[in-house]
């Protein structure tokens, strides 16, 4: 069986939202599993000594416009999030803690959180909001409460960030397949090309 596609992303990344649906489709097309690996992009950038792009006013203005343009390009619903940038550490902890017990529910959670933030204006940095969204995919409030504050989710997210730094992740989304790294939702066509035998 071929190695999976590693899909590194931040729940607070609009470009991850734009890419998420297509990366699963591309994986299925080429018989590759897709490993969803939520990370904290700000922590990865800090480890690499790279400034967060939205910290620079001119880049922030460009990106806010580009998010709306990209949503239209990908044909996806989009409403500017309630706050951006935002730390998605609670969402990441929740994902990894749930994955330890039920990978399918963790997968469903990840696929719910992205549109909740980028199309429905839910605040995914808020514990009560996460509890409500988790309940939609069958995660009990008691499990969510433990996941948000307990050691399992915290350790899982820390390990994912460390792995991303080691792997050379430089942005969200970042796809790693057969040792090749591709950064950005606009690299999806190139990902398909690479999996189809490009560069061989």
pLDDT tens digits in sequence order for the chain, 200 residues long: 799 999 999 999 999 999 998 999 999 999 999 999 999 999 999 999 998 888 889 999 999 999 999 999 999 999 999 899 999 999 999 999 999 999 999 999 999 999 999 999 999 999 999 999 999 999 999 999 999 999 999 999 999 999 999 999 999 999 999 999 999 999 999 999 999 998 66
How much is the pLDDT for 56?
A: 87
How much is the pLDDT for 1?
A: 73
How much is the pLDDT for 200?
A: 61
Tally of domains in the chain: 1
How much is the pLDDT for 142?
A: 96
Q: Is residue 99 part of a domain?
A: yes
Cis peptide before 85, with omega less than 30 degrees from 0? yes
SS3 call for 6? strand
Spatial CA neighbour of 100 closest among 184, 23, 157, 58:
157
Instruction: Determine phi and psi for 2, rounding to 5 degrees.
Output: -65, 155
Q: Is residue 73 part of a domain?
A: yes
Spatial CA neighbour of 80 closest among 97, 100, 66:
66
CATH of the domain at 133: 3.40.30.10
As given in the structure block, the two tokens for residue 74 are: 């990908």
Which positions are annotated as active-site residues?
13
Q: Is residue 200 part of a domain?
A: no
Cis peptide before 173, with omega less than 30 degrees from 0? yes
* Residues in the chain, total: 200
Instruction: Determine phi and psi for 34, rounding to 5 degrees.
Output: -115, 120
Q: Is residue 77 part of a domain?
A: yes
Spatial CA neighbour of 70 closest among 117, 112, 113, 15:
15
Q: Is residue 186 part of a domain?
A: yes
Domain assignment of residue 47, given as a range: 5-195
How much is the pLDDT for 52?
A: 87
Q: Is residue 86 part of a domain?
A: yes
CB atoms within 10 A of CB 160: 21
Q: Is residue 16 part of a domain?
A: yes
């Amino acid at each position: 069986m071929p190695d999976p596609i590693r899909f590194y992303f931040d729940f607070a990344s609009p470009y991850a939202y734009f890419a998420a649906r297509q990366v699963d489709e591309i994986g299925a097309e080429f018989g590759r599993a897709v490993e969803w690996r939520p990370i904290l992009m700000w922590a990865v950038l800090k480890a690499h000594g790279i400034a967060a792009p939205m910290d620079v006013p001119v880049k922030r203005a460009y990106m806010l416009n580009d998010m709306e343009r990209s949503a239209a390009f990908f044909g996806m619903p989009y409403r500017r999030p309630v706050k951006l940038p935002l730390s998605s550490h609670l969402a990441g902890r929740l994902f990894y803690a749930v994955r330890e017990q039920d990978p399918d529910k963790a997968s469903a959670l990840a696929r719910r959180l992205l549109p909740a933030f980028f199309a429905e204006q839910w605040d995914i940095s808020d514990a009560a909001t996460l509890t409500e969204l988790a309940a939609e995919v069958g995660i009990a409030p008691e499990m969510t409460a433990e996941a948000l504050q307990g050691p399992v989710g915290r350790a899982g997210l820390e390990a994912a960030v460390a792995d991303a730094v080691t792997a050379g992740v430089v942005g969200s989304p970042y796809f790693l397949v057969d040792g090749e790294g591709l950064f950005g939702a606009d690299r999806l066509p190139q990902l398909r090309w690479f999996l189809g035998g490009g560069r061989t």
